[in-house]
Amino acid sequence: MLAGLTAAWVGQQGAAPGAPRLTWALRPASNTVVIRLLPGTGPLGRSVLAQSWLIVSGAGPRHLTRRSLTGGPVRIPVPAGRQTRLRVRVDGPQPSRQTLTVTVPPALRVARSRSGPHGLLLRLSAPMRRSRPTGLCRTSEISFPAPSEVAVAKSPQACRARLTLTARNGEQAVVPVAIPGLPKVPLYSFASPAGRAIYITVDDGWTPSRQVLAVMRRTRLPVTAFLIEQAAHRDLGYWRAFVRAGGTIGDHTVSHPDLTRQALSGATAQWGQARQVLGRWLGRPPLMGRPPYGAVDAAVAAAASRGGLKVLVGWSATADQGIRTWDGKRLEPGEIVLLHWVPGLGQQLTRLLTAIRARHLHPMPLTPASFAGIAPQRHSLSGD
C-alpha cells in the first residue's frame, strides 16, 4: 500500500445535481497530492464545472495554498513520514468542502554505504524496486543482493553520479555516489630496447605458415602469435608445433570483435574465454592480449583485467606491405612489429629479418617482463 488517503465531508451530506466530483492521488516519488475536479452527473455537469474552481490548503509548516481557476489539477507537496490534513474547497454554482487526511510513507534514505572489492553496496531504509536506477556511469552494473540493498559494480573509470532509487512503496531518493574504478591492464606499443632487442608478433591465425615454422625451428627465432580462439581451433596441431618451436601464444579474443563497441561483460567474456581455452589447448593461459583493430578504451582495459590478462600489447611498426614505423624512420631497438597469418607471411618475414639484420637488431621473446621500465601508451600505430 503506497499511502493512506481518507476523506471526510464537511457541510453537505449529499451532492447536488451537476456538482463537480473530486478525485485525488498521491505520487510518492515526489510526495505530491494531485487533486482535480471532474464533471458531475446530469446535463448540467460540464456547465457547472466550467464555472467552478478549486482551492486546497493546509499542507506543510507554512500552510501552503494552491488554487486552480481554470479547471486544471492542483498539485500540493506533503511531507514524508507523517499524516497531513488538506482542506479542499470548491467554489462556484455548487460549492462544497472536504478534508483529506494523507499518510505518506517515510522518506527513502540510505541507512548504510560501504565500498568493497566489487564496488559499492547501499543499504536502504525500505525494500527496493528491482529496476535499473537512473544517473549511473555508462557501464556500471546494478544488482539487488537483498530486498533493501543495491550493489553498484565498479566502473571502468572511477566516477561520481547522482543515483535515483525507487522503493516498492513509490518513495524515491537521489543519492550522490562515488563509484570506484576497475583495475585496468596497461597497453604497451614498445618494449625494452636492452641488447638492441626487437619483437616479432603475428596476429589472427587463419592461415598458418609452414615456412615460418621452419625458420623458427632452424634459427630459434622467437615469435609471438596473438591468436583468435576460433582460428586456433582450425589447426591445433600447427599451434602445438609452434609452441614446441619456442613460439609464444597471446590472446586475440574469441572472435575478433571491436571490443570498444561491446558491453563490459561481453568484452570480459571475449578475453577470458579465449585465454582459458588457449591455455587448455596449448599448455598455458596467455598473460598478454592484443585488442582487435588496436581498439582500446577504459572498458576494454578493465575487461582485460577481469579476463585474467596482465598486459595489452600494441605495436610500433608493421611489416605486412613493406616496413612502416610509428615515426616513419628506420626500425629501432624496442620496436614491436606487427604481421598477420596470411598467405605470403613467409616472404614478409624474410624481408623483415633482412631489415633487422641490417640494423644489427636482435629478435627477442616477448613476455610481460619485456615491459619493465617502459611507459604505457594509449594506442598503437594503426588498426589491424
Place of cell 629501432: 332
Is 381 inside any structural domain? Answer: no
Q: 74 and 30 in one domain?
A: yes
**Do 259 and 358 fall within a single domain?**
yes
What digits encode the pLDDT tens for the residues 227-276? Answer: 999 999 999 999 999 999 999 999 999 999 999 999 999 999 999 999 99
Q: Which of 77, 103, 129 is the last residue of a domain?
A: 103
Residues 131 and 96 in one domain: no
User: What gap in Å lies between CA 183 and CA 118, rounded to an integer?
Assistant: 11
Q: What pLDDT was estimated at residue 137?
A: 79
Each residue of 282-339: pLDDT tens digit? 999 999 999 999 999 999 999 999 999 999 999 999 999 899 999 999 999 999 999 9
pLDDT band at residue 382 using 50, 70 and 90 as cut-offs: low
Looking at the structure, tell me whether residues 361 and 306 fall in a common domain: yes
Shared-domain flag, residues 212 and 358 = yes
292 and 214 within one domain: yes
59 and 149 in one domain? no
Domain end call among 162, 179, 196: 179
Under a CB-based contact definition with an 8 Å cutoff, are residues 310 and 285 in contact?
no
Residue 159 lies inside a defined structural domain of this protein: yes
Task: Name 119's bridge partners.
Answer: 116, 153
Q: Cα angle at 169 between 165 and 174, to 5 degrees?
A: 20
Regarding whether 87 and 227 lie in a shared domain, the answer is no
Asked if 308 and 363 sit in the same domain, the reply is: yes
Q: How many domains does the chain have?
A: 3
Residue 262 lies in a domain: yes
One DSSP character per residue, 68-94 reads ESSS--EEEE--TTSEEEEEEEEESSS
Secondary structure of residue 303 in the 3-state scheme = helix
Q: Position 351: which residue type? A: R
Residue 193 within any structural domain of the chain: yes
Asked if pLDDT for residue 135 goes beyond 70, the answer is no
Q: 179, 204, 227: which is the final residue of a domain?
A: 179
Q: In this structure, are 257 and 286 located in the same domain?
A: yes
pLDDT bucket at 10, cuts 50 / 70 / 90: very low
For 51-55, 122-126, 129-133, which range has the lowest pLDDT when averaged over its residues?
Answer: 129-133
**The pLDDT of residue 12:** 39
259 and 347 in a common domain: yes
What pLDDT sits at residue 164? Answer: 87
Q: Looking at the structure, tell me whether residues 80 and 156 fall in a common domain.
A: no
User: CATH number of the domain that 24 lies in?
Assistant: 2.60.40.10
**In the chain, what percentage of residues exceed pLDDT 90?**
62
Task: Work out whether strand 311-313 and strand 288-289 pair parallel, antiparallel, or are unpaired.
Answer: parallel
Which residue has 606487427 as its cell numbers? 338
Kindly state whether residue 382 falls inside one of the protein's structural domains. no
Domain span including residue 138: 110-179
DSSP helix/strand/coil, 6? strand
DSSP 375: P
Q: Which three three-digit cell numbers place residue 74?
A: 492542483
In a domain, 378, yes or no: no
Q: Tell me what the mean pLDDT of segment 364-380 comes to.
A: 92
Q: Is residue 191 part of a domain?
A: yes
Instruction: Tell me if 17 is assigned to some domain.
Output: yes
